[in-house]
Amino acid sequence: MKIFMIGEAANHARTLAASLQESHEIVPLPREAAYSDALDGQILPEDAVISLRLKRQGNRFPPVRLLHVPGAGLDGIDFPSLSDSTAVCNVFEHEIPIAEYVLSAMLEWEIRAVEMRRSFTPETWPDIYRQRVPHGEIHGKTLGVVGFGRIGRAIASRAKAFGMRIVAIDAHAGDVGPADEILPPQDLPRLLPKVDYLVLACPLTEATTGLIGQAQLAAMKPTAVLINISRAEIADEVALFEALSRKTIGGACLDVWYRYPTGSDDRVEPSSFPFHTLANAVCTPHSSAWTKQLPQRRYAFIAANLDRLARGEPLLNEVRAPAAGPAN
């Protein structure tokens, strides 16, 4: 069986190979292979593909045994482009670094350690000591978490250790876990005026696209901070820029964006608006989960699933099973 690793996934070919137990041939493909059919002739029905994004215009991707997404989000996969015979799996393992990012963002927003360090010199020391400005604490603040899956729970458990009150929004959360309270999605308007921080940790779906718009932002405290580590489109692009520009809310920490490059050399702006110019917007390049340890965990899981596929064993994290019958 050949394993085709497309785009960024191909950078982890050695990590994957080190964890495989069965014999497979690994074939790297460029980022463009996720959108162009120019290289599709290499791919056979008995093969597997690893790619975060996959889309075809007007035709289908070749039938393969498995498409393994090297992340949790599936919004980069155009399912109608896939053959009915192709199984689809995803992988998590990113909840630890994302939770640490969120806690870091909240702590920095309150403490402003970077700003204090930047202003400290032997020459400024006497004056900044005498005129030092009190900073904030996250202790006692209310954290709203929209989406209470793996990421939401990892964030909540860490925030709880800092003395925050946690209120989650989720339709299928089940047990309360580390949260103080879980509300159904229809109660989001009741939560918004209470939160000091609002973290978006839900998947992007038709129901969550534009979930945070002008009305929702206006309902929040003027000091509240929005943190988006899920998908940019959950917060309406125009409404968010206006709310930050007008200081309707206190600020935002944004790690996910409205535009992404699709090719190796294309230059694309992250948004139609210059969020990076706003003093109350902290902008990072979709890196909250991007730790040195993450690929090892993720590709060990993917390797185990590929070995399961080769041995005819049930797959883990299967989000779409192959249809019975011939490939189409």
Q: Would you list the DSSP string of 249-318?
A: SSEEEE---S----SSS----S-SS-GGG-TTEEE--S-TT--SSHHHHHHHHHHHHHHHHHHTPPPSSE
Q: What does DSSP say about strands 225-228 and 25-29: parallel, antiparallel, or unpaired?
A: unpaired
Residue 328 within a domain:
no
Give yes or no: residues 109 and 63 share one domain: no
Exposed (0-12), middle (13-18) or buried (19+): which is 327, by Cβ within 10 Å? middle
Q: Is residue 270 part of a domain?
A: yes
Same domain, 189 and 147: yes
Closest to 208 (Cα-Cα) out of 73, 81, 15, 301: 73
The answer as to whether 153 is a domain residue is yes
CA distance 178 to 159: 9
185 and 57 share a domain?
no
Query: Which strands form 225-228's sheet, in the order they lie side by side?
Result: 181-183, 165-169, 142-146, 197-200, 225-228, 251-254, 281-283
The model's pTM is 0.86
For the chain, the domain total comes to: 2
154 and 210 share one domain: yes
Task: Tell me: do 64 and 202 sit in the same domain.
Answer: no
Q: Residue 94: its pLDDT value, please?
A: 95
Q: In this predicted structure, what is the pLDDT of residue 325?
A: 56
- 125 and 261 together in one domain: yes
> Residues 87, 234: one domain?
no
Domain that residue 53 falls in = 2-93+292-320
The span from the CA of 112 to the CA of 106, in Å, is: 10
**Tokens 């949260």 identify what position?**
179
* Residue 178: CATH number of its domain: 3.40.50.720
pLDDT score at 322: 92
Q: Are strands 251-254 and 2-6 parallel, antiparallel or unpaired?
A: unpaired
In a domain, 22, yes or no: yes
Give per-10-residue mean pLDDT for the chain (328 aa): 96 96 94 93 96 90 97 92 96 96 98 95 96 96 97 98 98 88 96 98 95 98 98 98 98 97 85 98 97 96 97 96 68
Domain assignment present for 259: yes
Specify whether 253 is located in the same domain as 297.
no
From 185, 179, 189, select the one nearest 146 (Cα to Cα): 185
Residue 30 near residue 46, CB atoms below 8 Å: no
Are 176 and 278 within one domain?
yes
Domain check: are 112 and 212 in the same one? yes
- Work out the burial of residue 308: count CB atoms within 10 Å of its CB; fewer than 13 is exposed, 13-18 middle, 19 or more buried: middle
Per the domain annotation, does 326 fall within a domain? no
Q: Where are the alpha helices (DSSP H) in the chain?
A: 13-19, 95-111, 113-119, 125-130, 150-161, 188-191, 214-219, 237-245, 294-311
169 and 195 in a single domain? The answer is yes
Would 170 be classed as within a structural domain? yes
Q: Is residue 327 part of a domain?
A: no
Is there a single domain that holds both residue 190 and residue 104?
yes
140-160 as b/e: b if 16+ CB within 10 A: ebbbbbbbbbbbbbbbbebbb
